Amino acid sequence: MIPTLYKITPAVNLRAIQTDRFKNAQLSVSLILPADKELSPLTTLLFSVLRRGTEQYPTIKELNLVLDMLYGASISYRNTFFGDSQVIGFVLETLGKRYLPDGEQTDPLKVGIGVIEQMLFHPLLDENGLLRADAVQSEIENTCDDIRAQINDTRSYARMRLRECMFQGQPYGASLVGKVEQVQGFTPLMLTEHWKRILQSARIECFYVGSDDPAYVASLLKNVFLDAPASLLPMQDTTIPSPRTQVQYVNEDLAVAQGKLEIGFYTGITPDHPDAVAQSVFNELFGGSSVSRLFLNLREKKSLCYHCYSSAVAHKGIMTVSCGIHPDNREIAEREIFAELTRLQQKAVGKAELKMAQRSLINALRQCSDSPAALQSYWFGRQVFYSSTLTPEKCIERVKAVTAQDVMRVSRAVVPDMVYFLNGTLGGEEDDDES
């Protein structure tokens, strides 16, 4: 099932999938902005403040209460990078209208969209028309606490540091939250001006999965965005870089027992590339599943690591390998990771191994239809950034058609670029191997 596109305004799109499979419906409202070292952290803080209260619902308690009264509706927060773009906004989850009790007059979707409208367009302002200083200061403190706490999740921290080092000085190397000293310098005036600026210029992408008529959903959104100006910011083009001529190494020490090894590779294969499906099969074989070579050989057979897996970041045309190891195993683990890649590049995989990887990937694709969130996760980037019409079902057929020669070909496009090692300086065993 391919999402239907509705043009709400020149700056606002709705993509919708109507289905009776789920009692719940999900609607996301996302602003698409260029990733930027200075502005992305400001945007992140702004949306934290917008969730603190509105003209109609002045407190967090009142915001939560109106959602609770909608049969447990919820509004969560989205903030991520898609290539060189920041995607930030709100995700509404409600009970579908047709599943409401007989005689119920309240439409959870309509009220929920009204709450999002309040947060986007009618936040609490002071007498000078600025976002309230107490809310801003509170969220600055919360954000700074979150930044300081990043180091506590060493696996996520190491992945973040690889991206920052690999793309230093580039949009994709920006931080969503910034540095403590940067965030502490933000003011209500800066946030208010930024709020007005992005509402004037951002492209807004809405995505709906549920049983309601998409034309009805579009009409609700048109009422919200009717006066929204045409977008002044074009869609950010993602630069697909070329690998360095020599692999770069970055080492950092941290007082933990377990080391984290992160390796970044360039593939040049994006979701619209002819080899995108073959690349997915390769990743499943290399380190993307429990039947992969990195998992079976490095972790299970040779016991070199606590965890080891690869991830394709298709929107940027790269792949990463994440490995949790004892610091003494750093060199041998790195050597074995590169050796497994070389084996795939030099010798075609056997039929049985290829079949296992295909089945693993097919199972994951079948799960894309298990929930509104899974369907939206599958389609959002493909539709918004690539206008893809490749359904999970068609993707499964392509996965089945991938050959050993296809896997070998795409494996040869994988070029190592950077090795980041977070060296654990404490002796002994770490309590939580998966941290």
Tens digits of residue pLDDT in 139-185: 999 999 999 999 999 999 999 999 999 999 999 999 999 999 999 99
Say whether pLDDT at 133 is over 80: yes
User: Counting every residue, how long is the chain?
Assistant: 435
Residue type, 187: T
Residue 141 neighbours by CB under 8 Å, 6+ apart: none
The H-or-E segment that residue 109 falls in is helix 108-121
Per-residue confidence at 108, pLDDT binned at 50, 70, 90?
very high
Region 274-289: mean pLDDT is 96
274 Cβ partners below 8 Å, 6+ apart? none
Residue 362 has pLDDT above 50, yes or no: yes
pLDDT at position 10 is 87
pLDDT at 428: 53
User: Is 80 exceeded by the pLDDT of residue 263?
Assistant: yes
For residue 237, pLDDT over 90 is answered with: no
pLDDT per position as a tens digit, 56-91:
999 999 999 999 999 989 999 999 999 999 999 999
The answer on pLDDT for 432 being more than 70 is no
d(CA 104, CA 129): 38
Q: Is the pLDDT of residue 434 over 70?
A: no
Tokens at 383, concatenated: 């539709």
d(CA 408, CA 319): 16
pLDDT digits (tens, 9 = 90+) for 8-43: 998 899 999 999 999 999 999 999 999 999 999 999
Distance CA 160, CA 120 (A): 29
State the CB neighbour count (10 A cutoff) for residue 204.
Answer: 23
What are the residue boundaries of the structural domains of the chain, listed by start? 4-225, 248-424
Q: Do domains 4-225 and 248-424 have the same CATH topology?
A: yes
| Per-residue pLDDT band at 243 (split at 50, 70, 90) | confident
Q: Is it true that domain 248-424 has CATH number 3.30.830.10?
A: yes
pTM (predicted TM-score): 0.93
- Give the architecture (CATH level 2) of 4-225: 2-Layer Sandwich (3.30)
